[in-house]
Structure 1
Amino acid sequence: MAHERAPGLKDVAKAAGVSVTTVSRMLNGSLDLPAATKQRIDEAISALKYQPNPHARRLSRGRSDTIGLVVPDIANPFFATMVAAVEEAANDLGLAVSLYATLNRTGREVAYLRLLEHNHVDGLVFVTNHPDDGELAALINRTGKVIVVDEDVPLAMVPKLFSDNLQGGYLAGRHLAEFGHRNVLFVGGPDAMISTQRRFNGLRSGLQERFGEAFSIRRYSGEYTVACGREMARRFLEEGSPATAIFASSDEIAIGMIEVLREHGISIPDDLSIIGFDDVSPLHLFAPPLTAIRQPVRAIGRRALSLLLETNWQESEVLATEELVPVEIVVRNSVAPPSTRNKQR
């Protein structure tokens, strides 16, 4: 038997005939209302047996009731899905979300972090997609009330939330090994990024578990973009790499690579196997459907907001914790045993 959903701010607001923001601001003491309006809200709370969220109230009391969400690119399906999840979770708590797209540029990231310094938002869910030279970490540490998500800012002393990239790489390596692939090409983001490092190390671990030291991994580094995928595929073809399988560590890279490989008559998986990472794009519609490591991006977005609200920012020293979200492999049809044909690439 399903449990009934606990009443939320939206339910109270609807019953009282006011906005969610009005209810939220009344509860945190930042808004004076006419007596009749306040009475309607109190009666709705009583009738619904509504229990206010103490974490949300602690974060936003006397402030803007607005959470900042900083992402590199809202056109990327991965980040777009995360944005939707954060928006949905915030709406349930009567909090607004201010979205800032940085184009993955440090200058824009710095500008948005400074909004928090000036109290324009109550806290930030911060996502970057490039290595940090220390500038972002210094600003995050000075500002506080920031949750670092998806990619690390190594010297930032705040809570962090990542997918289990090491496990994801391991699952990819184990799957390729099960099909007999000993020569694998890894295509990742910048080498300094935690996602690249951990996905590569996991891949190596998965292959090593099956083959000992009798395997080889060639490694290309670039960006998590379709354009990078195209460039890496051209490089792969020009070099005549002996790899029989590719681990493309993002949907975008995989899509770009497949585009170029098809142009050159490379059949997947008959000539070359490939595994992607993210599984946010409609990879099941590809021909063949693409096997990928799935990141639970909506769960990551919801958990990021919860972590921001749960953290006691009043403590003199907030711990730089790291929380990992499990990933899974979604097996489709893009991996097969190494081709016996000596196809000239």
Structure 2
Amino acid sequence: MANLQDVATAAGVSKATVSRYLNGSLELPERTASAIDAAIKALDYTPNPHARRLSLGRSDTVALIVPDIASPFFATLVGAVEAEASVMGLAVALYATLNSPERELSYLDLVRRGHADGLIFVTNHPATEQMAAKLNTLRRCVVVDEDVPDAVAPKLFCDNRQGGYLAGRHLAEAGHRHALFIGGVDQMISGAHRWQGFVEGMDLPGLPPARITRHYGQYTVEAGRESGRRFLDLAAPERPTAIFATSDELLIGLYEVLTGAGLAIPHEVSVIGFDDVGPLHLFAPPVTAVRQPVRALGQRALQVLMRADEPSADTAPTEELLPVTLIARNSVAPPVRAFDRNTNSEE
């Protein structure tokens, strides 16, 4: 198979001349251009599109780093980025870190040494200074879903605080004054903002003070199971009348334990989820949840990335919030008993 040097030799010009002629950066006399065209035809030469893109300073490839691709949330996000990339004529290089900080840093080095036109970065644990420093060496990057506070890059989140507020208000309007909040840590924007919003939503004017217990933990099925077991260990009079599980994975583990113990939802305890990416409408009963616009998040991330300017240490990163929606189903009902508690508490 002929290569660029073969064409240059046959046309009697340099390899650099052929390359610049093909990428449109050099105008040649008609005689020279005809000689190159004739050599290409005679040798049946097909230009390497990847090499040609690199010669123009682009690869038409974007990198996407995510914690996991088995999770419905991240799988949906990846699919949305891939679909938008197809519309834009781009390829996606996908890296799944398994939520390992070491793998994250290794992949960031790999992306930095590669030829991607930019990076969409998603983490699922508290950020570190080292992570931010590596992100800041990239020419173009967008931070999505969870914050990396010191990263100088555009940032795109769902409105976690509003989501927490919608869940808290929905339970308060149903009459719940004692609730359990499951998931997240304050070092992550999702955990801190969902908690803040939930407290605000439960504290509606004209209602008795709410008691809110908090179980910290990762967004995993096993963490949901553990919270379910801790809930069942409480004596019935001390159990919260409602639970806010702040991810689909937590909700799945929680439902497994509660229904396995024969607890009737929502008659004995009301439940609200967050994400609504999995088939929560197929649960028994169908789960009320705050829905994140995950597909829009992935689509918007690529749009922001491809128009992002090179980051500057003197410029504060832009931040964009996508709205969330409460999807009311059948897992919330008025409590069968009332509590008179005057303080919030955390565990």
Assess same fold via TM > 0.5.
Answer: yes
Q: Distance in 1 between matches of 2:55 and 2:272?
A: 43
Q: Is 1:224 paired with 2:213?
A: no
Contact 1:82 1:298 in 2 (8 A): yes
Aligned residues: 294
Alpha-carbon distance in 2 for matches of 1:209, 1:61: 58
* Match of residue 325 from structure 2: 328
Partner of residue 190 from structure 1, selected from 185, 196, 202: 185
CA shift, 1:204, in A, is 0.6
Whole-Å separation in 1 of the counterparts to 2:258 and 2:319: 38
Paired residue for 1:106, among 101, 106, 115? 101
Q: What is the match of residue 74 of structure 1?
A: 69
- Rate the CA distance shift 1:283–1:210 in 2: closer, same or farther, 3 A: farther
Contact 1:228–1:256, Cα closer than 8 Å, also in 2:
yes
Distance (Å, rounded) in 2 between the aligned partners of 1:27 and 1:160: 38
Aligned runs of 1:128-207 on 2, under 5 Å? 128-207=123-202
Q: Deviations over 1:45-102 (max 9, x none)?
A: xxxxxxxxxxxxx999522211001110100000000000000101111110001000
Shift of 1:150: 0.3
In the superposition, relative to structure 1, how do residues 120 and 172 fare at CA in structure 2: closer, same or farther (>3 Å)?
A: same
SS of the residue corresponding to residue 87 of structure 1 reads helix
Q: Report if the CA contact (8 A) 1:115-1:121 is conserved.
A: no
Q: Is 1:250 matched up with 2:278?
A: no
Given that residues 144 and 158 in structure 1 are in contact (C-alpha distance below 8 angstroms), is that contact kept between their aligned partners in structure 2?
Answer: no
**Cα 1:87–1:61 shift into 2, 3 Å:** farther
Say whether residues 1:92 and 2:70 are aligned partners. Answer: no
Change (3 A) 1:29 1:174: farther
Partner secondary structure for residue 293 of structure 1: strand
1:337 aligned to 313, 329, 334, which one? Answer: 334
* Structure 2 residue matching 1:122: 3-state secondary structure: coil
Per-residue CA shift, 1:148-194, capped at 9, x if unaligned? 00011111121100000000000001100110001010001233111
Matching residue of 2:257: 260
Specify which of 258, 281, 286 is matched with residue 283 of structure 2. Answer: 286
3-state secondary structure, aligned to 1:275:
strand
Query: 1:123 and 1:29 mapped to 2: Cα distance?
Result: 24
Query: 2 CA distance for matches of 1:67 and 1:60?
Result: 17
Deviations 1:187-240 (A, max 9, x none): 012331110000011011111124566111100011101111001111122234
Separation (CA, whole Å) in 1 of partners of 2:22 and 2:264: 61
Q: RMSD between aligned alpha carbons?
A: 2.6
CA shift in 2, pair 1:221/1:316, >3 Å: closer
* Amino acid of the structure 2 residue aligned with 1:119: G
- Measure how far apart 1:245 and its partner are: 0.2
Is 2:152–2:312's contact at 8 Å kept on the other side of the alignment? no
1:318 CA drift (Å): 5.0
- Which ranges of structure 1 fall in alignment gaps of 5 or more residues? 1-25, 37-57
With normalisation by structure 2, the TM-score equals 0.79
- 1:209 is paired with a residue of what secondary structure? coil
**What's the CA shift for 1:333?**
0.3
- SS of the counterpart of 2:204? helix
Moved more, 163-172 or 61-70: 61-70
Q: 1:59 to 1:285 in 2, by over 3 A?
A: farther
Letter in 1 for 2:325: E
How many Å apart are 1:143 and its aligned residue? 2.4
Tell me the TM-score normalised to structure 1 length.
Answer: 0.80
Aligned to 1:50: none
- Distance change in 2, residues 1:110/1:236 (3 Å): same
Local SS of the residue matching 1:185: strand
- Contact between 1:151 and 1:194, CA under 8 Å: does it hold in 2? yes
Name structure 2 gaps, 5 residues minimum: 1-20, 26-35, 39-52, 340-347
| Paired AA for residue 226 in structure 2 | E
Give aligned-pair identity as a percent. Answer: 57
| Aligned CA distance change for structure 1 residues 180 and 101 (closer, same or farther; 3 Å) | same
Find the counterpart in structure 1 of residue 50 from structure 2. none
Distance 2:137 2:311 in 1: 14
Q: Is 2:302 the counterpart of 1:305?
A: yes
Q: 2: distance between equivalents of 1:28 and 1:277?
A: 49
